[in-house]
Structure 1
Amino acid sequence: MLRVLTAGESHGPELIAVMEGLPSGVPLLAEDIQADLQRRKLGYGRGSRMKFEQDELTISGGVRHGLTLGSPIALRIGNTEWPKWTEVMNPAPVELTEKSRGRGAALTRPRPGHADLVGMQKYDFDEARPILERASARETAARVALGAIARAFLAELGIRLVSHTLSIGPVHVPDDAPVPTPDDVAALDADPLRCFHPETSERMVAEVDDTRKEGDTVGGIVEVLAYGLPPGLGSHVHWDRRLDGKLAQALMSIQAIKGVEVGDGFETTRRRGSAAHDELFVTSDGIARGSDRAGGTEGGMSTGTVLRVRAGMKPIATVPHALRTVDVATGETAAAHHQRSDVCAVPAAGVVAEAMVAITLADVVLEKFGGDSVKETRRNLTAYVDGIAESLRTSAQPVDLAHDLAL
């Protein structure tokens, strides 16, 4: 079983990330993790914080000479802005100096759409600082770092991932547009919105510009695809072992994500049953599906085809023209506190979603195949796939109904 844990606050000295249960022998370099941390900052519409706040990565344990040891992997992601916050976020009781008093002022006007008010109620605080520091999406830097480790493990088994932006506000990639492969990651990262459809990307940029001019924020939808999965990850036998359920929980846990779908998801609910499912056909490569509506899962298990999951991100709640709220110190209507904010963070959400899918897939792979070393995991996976009866073998690609069945 794979276990992960993150700790730390947005303006604290560092974020801590721990992963336990990863096999030994996985190639892992600090620069590879650092590269993903930089990818998290990509995207048109990001705020100034992405430019001056650097992620200083240190591998504190679990890796030696570029290979995992099988022991817990511990990471530290230093916050270069910490010197400005040493008094405000000091773990020891301190008196704020004049310099820090403004930054450390009590935040008694909770922001609508954030964890502020409910967190104050739940944890018995009279201001929002203790809540927003941990609820902040800054925490996702630790998840992205752990996701880079999970992806390195999956790559050793021939499983590769890619994420891309499907929509920004009302601007959506055409339904018949091609989907990216892991070989397209560099091209995606070079696009302002990490969109695989150039014409749509231009319209997305215009949507972000228009949103910025209006002093507002905008959300969107990202998609993660995983290639090379074997059939049978997850299980139908109990609710908490279903792969699609695990993926939904992982993606919904990302800050500002309000919806998740697997495959065609909600679109499938608008179809008749005869047009909603992936029919099976005999081909020279084995049993093949005639379409990809299910998105790579059936009955809570991977089908061996491309896994396709989507996550919908709401517009960022820290709106430049501050929303109305209540000042809990006075009981009067007030404007919400305005922290630094992005106009659009959807491209970054794609990178975080990719990390969460990688962590989830690494977990279910280890649940099924185990292994104290990555070589052992690979042997177990190969033996399982080779042991599938010839009559049950499936093709990873949907059949071309117009071409393949006519042969």
Structure 2
Amino acid sequence: MRYLTAGESHGKQLTTIIEGVPARMPITPDDINESLLRRQKGHGRGKRMQIEKDLVDITSGVRHGYTLGSPISLVIHNDDFKHWTDIMGEEAPEEDKKIRRIVTKPRPGHADLNGALKYGHRDMRNVLERSSARETAARVAAGAVAKIMLKQLGIEVCGYVREIAGIIADDSINLPIKEMQEVSEQSPVRVLDKKIEQQMMDAIDKAKKDGDSIGGVTEVYVTGMPAGIGSYVQYDRKLDGRLAGSVMSINAYKGVEIGIGFEAARKNGSEVHDEIAWEEKKGYYRKSNRLGGFEGGMTNGMPLIIKGVMKPIPTLYKPLKSVDIDTKEPFTASVERSDSCAVPAAAVVMEHVVAFELANALTETFTSDQFPKLQQELERYREEIRCF
């Protein structure tokens, strides 16, 4: 499986094309829309979320509620484009008409300046429109298709917030994944620890009042993945490495941990590795899960635990200093619409990015032209490794 996205933040639409989804898999627009609407929620979100009502239009690859095996194209229309037609339209402007909202002052922390240098753009709107986190809506749409597949294969995925602005959730909270999904969905900051929910919201409100922004840590928890998915034989086939790369590709993410992650550097080996046990009913398992469900670049049958570190959004209402690329004079960086904290929404994005990598790994490992055959082969494999 693979996908491409296209579209600009204030352009006509975002488009996702997904290739490699097995034929005969049940799917509906409502399944995808649920994910898109979840991405728009969260305490601290900006005004853009009140403007756009992200709903998907499936334009190919699905017929009568089932995938065809051909590429699936998904379209998310930007309702706000009607206010941006003269700025973002594809037609050349009239000779006597000046283009509005040209950007010559790069914002620190954004792709503006580097993108302008790379592609030769004097108007950095050509960069910021595509580098915007608005593109993550298209990635969530792709991940939603993957989540539909995983769910029907007995694999559940849940993304939630572990930390915001140094306020850390209690990591001893141990809930069944269905309950995790419910609790995080009901929380305005997508946290499982209700005791710190208000503290996080207060921190977000303070940052907004101060014209600042704050970041945090998101976590994705996955159950149902069988052991042996991924491979140790080549660097680019190690599934934990591929997951880390996909998480780091999300806007504003600056770090990834698997299991206890960086904490492993401060512990002895006896406190890091997970002892192996066996029971007839469930086969091989680990007595602990400090390695987050991975060993040797492969899943080991335990729940997957992946953390991502999101920096504070760099668009600030008390902007940092920058330099105008035309005049070379110092200026205060320009302000586009922004969130004071997008960590709760980012948890949803990370959840879907992880889901796509897992679905992709399964289609690489098992027969994947027809979804019913994939289901059958995966069940046979689960039974085979249980009795191994």
Q: TM-score range by the shorter chain?
A: over 0.9
**Residue-pair matches, total:** 387
Shift of 1:383: 2.1
**Partners of 1:221 and 1:312 within 8 A in 2:** yes
Following the alignment from structure 2 to structure 1, what is the Cα–Cα distance between the partners of residues 188 and 328? 43
In the other structure, the counterpart of 2:252 is: 256
In the other structure, the counterpart of 1:331 is: 328
**Partners of 2:280 and 2:386 within 8 A in 1:** no
**Partners of 1:161 and 1:182 within 8 A in 2:** no
Following the alignment from structure 2 to structure 1, what is the Cα–Cα distance between the partners of residues 186 and 317? 27
Following the alignment from structure 1 to structure 2, what is the Cα–Cα distance between the partners of residues 233 and 151? 17
Shift of 1:183: 4.2
Q: Aligned ranges for residues 319-398 of structure 1 at < 5 Å?
A: 319-388=316-385, 390=387, 392=388
Q: Say which SS state the counterpart of residue 231 (structure 1) adopts.
A: coil
Q: Aligned ranges for residues 239-318 of structure 1 at < 5 Å?
A: 239-283=235-279, 285=281, 286-318=283-315
Flag as ranges the 4+ runs of structure 1 deviating above 6 A. Answer: none
In the other structure, the counterpart of 1:50 is: 49
**Partners of 2:162 and 2:219 within 8 A in 1:** yes
Give the counterpart letter for 2:106 in structure 1: P
Deviations 1:85-132 (A, max 9, x none): 11111112113998x85xx23211100000000000000111210000
Shift of 1:190: 1.8
In the other structure, the counterpart of 1:74 is: 73
TM-score normalised by structure 2 residue count: 0.96
In the other structure, the counterpart of 1:162 is: 158
Give the counterpart letter for 1:145 in structure 2: A
Following the alignment from structure 2 to structure 1, what is the Cα–Cα distance between the partners of residues 253 and 71? 29
Deviations 1:124-167 (A, max 9, x none): 11121000000000000001111110111111111111111000
In the other structure, the counterpart of 2:195 is: 199
Shift of 1:10: 0.5
Q: Say which SS state the counterpart of residue 164 (structure 1) adopts.
A: strand
Following the alignment from structure 1 to structure 2, what is the Cα–Cα distance between the partners of residues 168 and 333? 32
Deviations 1:191-245 (A, max 9, x none): 1101111001121111112212221100001100111011111000000000001
Q: Pick one of 148, 153, 164 that aligns with 1:152.
A: 148
TM-score normalised by structure 1 residue count: 0.92
Q: Say which SS state the counterpart of residue 232 (structure 2) adopts.
A: coil
In the other structure, the counterpart of 1:37 is: 36
Q: CA RMSD in A?
A: 1.6
Q: Say which SS state the counterpart of residue 160 (structure 2) adopts.
A: strand
Q: Say which SS state the counterpart of residue 191 (structure 2) adopts.
A: coil
**Partners of 1:56 and 1:80 within 8 A in 2:** no
Match status 1:21 vs 2:53 = no
Give the counterpart letter for 1:78 in structure 2: H
Q: Aligned ranges for residues 62-141 of structure 1 at < 5 Å?
A: 62-95=61-94, 101=99, 104-141=100-137
Following the alignment from structure 2 to structure 1, what is the Cα–Cα distance between the partners of residues 180 and 266? 31
Shift of 1:180: 5.6
**Partners of 1:19 and 1:73 within 8 A in 2:** yes
Following the alignment from structure 1 to structure 2, what is the Cα–Cα distance between the partners of residues 184 and 276? 25
Give the counterpart letter for 1:68 in structure 2: T
Q: Structure 1 residues 46, 165: CA separation in 2 closer, same or farther (over 3 Å shift)? A: same
Give the counterpart letter for 1:170 in structure 2: G
Match status 1:208 vs 2:204 = yes
Shift of 1:188: 1.5
Following the alignment from structure 2 to structure 1, what is the Cα–Cα distance between the partners of residues 285 and 355? 25
Q: Say which SS state the counterpart of residue 338 (structure 1) adopts.
A: coil
Shift of 1:267: 1.1
